[in-house]
Chain A
Amino acid sequence: MTDTPISRRTLLAGAAGALGAGALQQQLGRLQSQSGTPAVPADPTKVPGSPTSVLGERSPFERPRRVPLGGNQGVSLTPLQDLYGIVTPADLHFERHHAGVPAIDPERYKLLIHGMVERPMVFDLAALHRFPAVSALHFLECSGNGSASYRNIRPDLSPQLVDGLTSTSEWTGVPLATLFRAVGVKPGATWFLAEGEDAAVMARSIPIAKGWEDALIAYGQNGEPLRPEQGYPARLLLPGWEGNSNVKWLRRIEVSDHPFMTREETSKYTDPLADGTARQFSFVMDSKSIITFPAYPVTLPGAGWWEINGIAWSGRGMIRRVEISTDGGQQWAPAELQLPVLSRCHTRFRYLWNWDGRESLIMSRAVDETGYVQPTLAELRAARGLGTFYHFNHIRAWRVRRDGSVVFGLEG
């Protein structure tokens, strides 16, 4: 495999395309091989250890890395295969930017809310911090996540390169409903525009009901201020809705009685269908799951008991169950759901598998609280057509070969 120039179209689709993914996989491999082995004493009990410090660091033996792709209009993917549980460390949270990460002075930050309101108001960061706050764990997923698993499927894709545009954090902030009450949203308001302070001044129209229901103006992520890549100092957080609508570096909300039809809700983030229409405002991320172990590039050293595990999530609520097949989808058995199981949040599933050493196609299938069952690739292609660029929530599969090597895909 050679490094292949990454097409801008692939990047703008908001996901790791097959060509770019391969090149980056190779780069990642180089990065890891450069690290060498950190120096440690032969017996740590015979040498005094290091003193306390102002800031902790990972063990030098652990080198999880995002895969960045496409410069300041690109993405970087979370290393799903390196994570335990459900929370994504903030420095490994996926990225997707439309014009890079802006540098914003928190002292100068302000959020303007105007339009169809009784009292147009400005809230600086101190004001946002002063409002009654809430914290909640929610996944955030780019709606282009999983595109590499929909067309031209390649076997040499890791969980990171298949689905690394999803992450879970504990988000802390002010309910947007609180701010709506403060400004006095007028009767007849049905939408609001959320606009960022990045160089794209990224903007999306959001139904106002979502603002009243559970939207947050988030300033905290996993116990600390948002990372710049996630919208520092404050962002919109719409639980369960496609990443792009969760506008980062939020500086303006305009309450309105119509959507504004911005580029990101017309030219992009719409879903052409096989019937000659295009779906717009397709906000909710449908139920989905992926096995993160065993998965490419892992090789199982031998037959025997192995714990299959991975993550499942749904933008419509809680995961009710996850089922595992080890025979390519003929038979399914329930996986154990690790607590906590939270609404619109990654849920870790586990399934103890006694591998007999024969070639096996392993798959996971999530069912959410609405009864929605994660569809097969064939079912999703039948419903959407091949031309869609977002919302790839079909069942993923890993082929475990007789030699223990694992490759991605139904067509691997």
Chain B
Amino acid sequence: MTTLALLAAACRGEGEPRGVAPGSAHEDGRPLLGIGRPATQEEIKAWDIAISPDGTGLPPGSGTATQGAVLYRQKCAMCHGPTGTEGPAERLVGREPRQGFPFGKDPSLGRTVGNYWPYATTLYDYIHRAMPLNAPGSLSPDEVYRAVAFLLWRNEIISDTTVVNAQTLPRVVMPARDRFVNDNRRGGAEIR
């Protein structure tokens, strides 16, 4: 079977290909069907913003909580409150409850960076891609590092002088790091 025929069969979930003209297949090793074009390195670089838990993707730059306090006051406090607890937007700060992880039992417990977020790298990723709400994607790497440092300090995870950068951020161990388990629902008779 030709590559295209295999493709067509796989797409339709059938053993025998249908609707494929004879002799229309492309050879292996070329972009299949010849549709689309190669991406340039510039295109990839412009959009490749995801940060991995091991720190892959973190740019040069750095910040401390002390620096972050200024930025937070200017660009974050209007929605998240003067100390990250008042709202009206999502509460960011708080380590309570310090014992256990009783969120499943108590819907009234607020989920904060300090008590629920498992990875510190997620802070960089999210603040950079989506914050502040009225000017998303507008913060420089130094500004994002400062905001991250401020939130980690306010949640009593780092000190106010810790320099947060591409090397130190992935090493921060979040309080909720080991609380997450993979989905074990499988259908069938059991309610999980």
A binds B: yes
Residues of chain A touching chain B, judged by Cβ–Cβ distance below 8 Å, are: 8-9, 12, 73, 98-99, 112-114, 119-123, 127, 130-132, 134, 151, 175, 177-178, 181-183, 193, 195, 199-203, 251-252, 254, 256, 258, 260-263, 266-267, 270-284, 286, 316, 368, 370-373, 375, 379-380, 382-389
Most buried by B among A251, A279, A283: A279
Nearest CB to that of B112 among chain A residues?
A267
Nearest CB to that of A123 among chain B residues?
B36
Known A-B contacts A254-B50, A386-B106; A114 and B184 likewise in contact (beta carbons under 8 Å):
no
Q: Choose, from B67-75, B87-95, B140-148, B154-162, the stretch at the interface.
A: B87-95
- Say yes or no: A386 contacts B105, CB within 8 Å: yes
Question: In whole angstroms, how far apart are the Cα atoms of A9 and B182 in the complex?
Answer: 25
Most buried by A among B7, B37, B48, B104: B104
Known A-B contacts A131-B33, A383-B191; A277 and B179 likewise in contact (beta carbons under 8 Å):
yes
Question: In whole angstroms, how far apart are the Cα atoms of A267 and B151 in the complex?
Answer: 15
Contacts of A263 in B (CB 8 A): 122, 125-126, 130
Known A-B contacts A123-B35, A272-B103; A177 and B10 likewise in contact (beta carbons under 8 Å):
yes
Smallest beta-carbon distance A111→chain B, Å: 9
- Say yes or no: A370 contacts B47, CB within 8 Å: no
- Say yes or no: B117 contacts A385, CB within 8 Å: no
Contacts of A280 in B (CB 8 A): 180-183
- Say yes or no: B103 contacts A266, CB within 8 Å: no
> Is chain B's binding surface mostly helix, strand, loop or mixed?
loop
- Say yes or no: A132 contacts B11, CB within 8 Å: yes
C-beta contact mask, B51-84 vs A, less than 8 Å → 1, else 0?
Answer: 1111000000000000000000000000000000
- Say yes or no: A127 contacts B35, CB within 8 Å: yes
C-beta contact mask, B126-169 vs A, less than 8 Å → 1, else 0?
Answer: 10011001001100000000000000000000000000000000
Known A-B contacts A266-B118, A386-B107; A178 and B32 likewise in contact (beta carbons under 8 Å):
yes
Q: Of A9, A120, A375, which one neighbours B38 at CB under 8 angstroms?
A: A120
Smallest beta-carbon distance B31→chain A, Å: 6
Question: In whole angstroms, how far apart are the Cα atoms of A254 and B47 in the complex?
Answer: 10
Known A-B contacts A201-B137, A283-B183; A8 and B90 likewise in contact (beta carbons under 8 Å):
yes
| B100 lies within 8 A of chain A by Cβ | yes
Nearest CB to that of B135 among chain A residues?
A199
Smallest beta-carbon distance B94→chain A, Å: 13
- Say yes or no: A112 contacts B181, CB within 8 Å: no
Question: In whole angstroms, how far apart are the Cα atoms of A283 and B185 in the complex?
Answer: 10
15 contacts between A and B (CB under 8 A): A99-B130, A122-B38, A134-B12, A175-B10, A252-B48, A254-B50, A262-B125, A266-B119, A275-B104, A277-B104, A277-B179, A281-B183, A284-B183, A372-B189, A385-B104
Known: A195-B50, A252-B47, A387-B106; 20 extra A-B contacts, CB below 8 A, are A114-B39, A122-B38, A132-B8, A203-B129, A254-B50, A258-B54, A260-B50, A261-B119, A262-B50, A262-B122, A266-B122, A266-B180, A276-B179, A278-B104, A279-B180, A281-B182, A316-B187, A375-B191, A386-B106, A386-B107
Smallest beta-carbon distance B160→chain A, Å: 24
Question: In whole angstroms, how far apart are the Cα atoms of A21 and B98 in the complex?
Answer: 33
- Say yes or no: A178 contacts B11, CB within 8 Å: yes
Question: In whole angstroms, how far apart are the Cα atoms of A17 and B116 in the complex?
Answer: 22
Chain B interface bracket (under 10, 10 to 19, 20 to 34, 35 or more): 35 or more
Most buried by B among A120, A195, A267, A386: A267
Question: In whole angstroms, how far apart are the Cα atoms of A162 and B156 in the complex?
Answer: 39
Q: Of B11, B37, B119, B185, which one neighbours A122 at CB under 8 angstroms?
A: B37
Nearest CB to that of B130 among chain A residues?
A200
Q: Of B35, B107, B125, B184, which one neighbours A182 at CB under 8 angstroms?
A: B35
| B173 lies within 8 A of chain A by Cβ | no
Contacts of A270 in B (CB 8 A): 180
Contacts of A370 in B (CB 8 A): 186-188
Contacts of B8 in A (CB 8 A): 132
Q: Of B36, B50, B103, which one neighbours A278 at CB under 8 angstroms?
A: B103
Q: Of A112, A119, A278, A316, which one neighbours B31 at CB under 8 angstroms?
A: A119
Contacts of A316 in B (CB 8 A): 187
Contacts of A389 in B (CB 8 A): 107
